[in-house]
Amino acid sequence: MRRVTVIETVERENNNTITVRFRDDLCVMPGQFYMVWFPPINEIPLSVSYNGKLKGVTVKGIGKSTKKIVEGAVGDVISLDGPYGNYFKPYGNKILAIAGGVGIASIILAIESFHSMGLDITTIIGAKKYDELIFMERANISSDTFIVTTDDGSYGEKGFTVNIAEKLIAEKKFDSIITCGPEIMMKKIVDISLKSNIKVYASIERIMKCAIGICDSCVFGAYHICMDGPIFTGEQLKDIPDFGKWKHGFSGEKIKL
């Protein structure tokens, strides 16, 4: 049911990313998303990045609408629909979390929730450069092992999350892996996990319009992100030819990732 709520705060994570906080009483599970309407700009699917009484969603300025939102064209209220989608459930005791860029916003609640259950969490956060790293404090506090990578070496280890992950997977015995970030990154993580016989869960993004399983915009193999996702298992992903390769544009056309 669509409902309007007042924006309590707008926090700037970096020059291209903001977190909008608001009250919503519905129960949200880690990895679920809202359809958030920023009138009059647009309505977009956003993972919930803060739970509890004062919830939050984190927006990175990528397209025309998200840029407008990040540049400050946010009004006093937003309209929410949802929460939608499936959510991260812990599998095993030793969990590896891998986030690329703003992808951390989709898995930070899972990291915090798993940590509070007493599970052993290793987190790898990667970004192109230091400015693009967000939620580092939060992820650090809730992780037993915490590693940061940047492509240019401006912070943490120079290189990619995938390389660190591959090394760690070979050394430690993880029960499961959760990931969100650029799909090319997730594809590599999923391939490594499947080869190593470790359960893997990835949060997938596509253009979403209706969010209720009607419009076919977020079609993903035989699935739809809105109804069957956003989290998919390695077993599902290995049978989806589009994964890591193709997405659909606003008119349904195929676009190479």
Partner 1 sequence: MIKLSVEVASLTLRNPLMLASGVLDESYESMKKIWNSGAGAVITKSIGKTARAGYPNPVVVNEDGYLINAMGLPNPGIDDFINIIEKLNNEKIKVITSIFAENGDDFSYLAKKAEQYSTAIELNLSCPHAKGLGAEIGSNADNVYDIVKSVKSSVKIPVWAKLTPNIADVSEIGIAAEEGGADAVVAINTVRAMAIDIKIKKPVLSNRYGGMSGKAIKPVGIAAVYKLYESVKIPVIGVGGIESFEDVVEYMMAGACSVEIGTAIARFGVNLFNKILTELQIYMKENEYDSPREMVGVAHING
Rounded to an integer, what distance in angstroms lies between the CA atom of residue 125 and that of residue 111?
12
25 binds partner 1 (CB under 8 A): no
219 binds partner 1 (CB under 8 A): yes
| CB neighbour class for 170 (10 Å; exposed up to 12, middle 13-18, buried from 19) | exposed
Residues 6+ apart with CB under 8 A from 179: 97, 98, 99, 103, 107, 185, 186, 189, 190, 200, 201, 202, 203
Tell me the residue type at 65. Answer: S
39 binds partner 1 (CB under 8 A): yes
Select the span of 145-153, 163-171, 175-183, 207-215 touching partner 1 (CB under 8 A): 207-215
33 within 8 A of 82, measured Cβ to Cβ? yes
Rounded to an integer, what distance in angstroms lies between the CA atom of residue 45 and that of residue 81?
9
**Residue whose CB is less far from partner 1, 37 or 130:** 37
24, 28, 34, 43: residue in contact with partner 1 (rule CB under 8 A):
43
74, 133, 200, 211: residue in contact with partner 1 (rule CB under 8 A):
211
Rounded to an integer, what distance in angstroms lies between the CA atom of residue 232 and that of residue 177?
12
Select the span of 98-106, 150-158, 167-175, 219-227 touching partner 1 (CB under 8 A): 219-227
Q: Per-residue x/- marks for partner 1, 63-102, CB under 8 A? A: --x-----------x-x-x---------------------
Footprint of partner 1 (CB under 8 A): 2, 4, 35, 37, 39-40, 42-44, 65, 77, 79, 81, 209-217, 219, 221-222, 224, 248-253
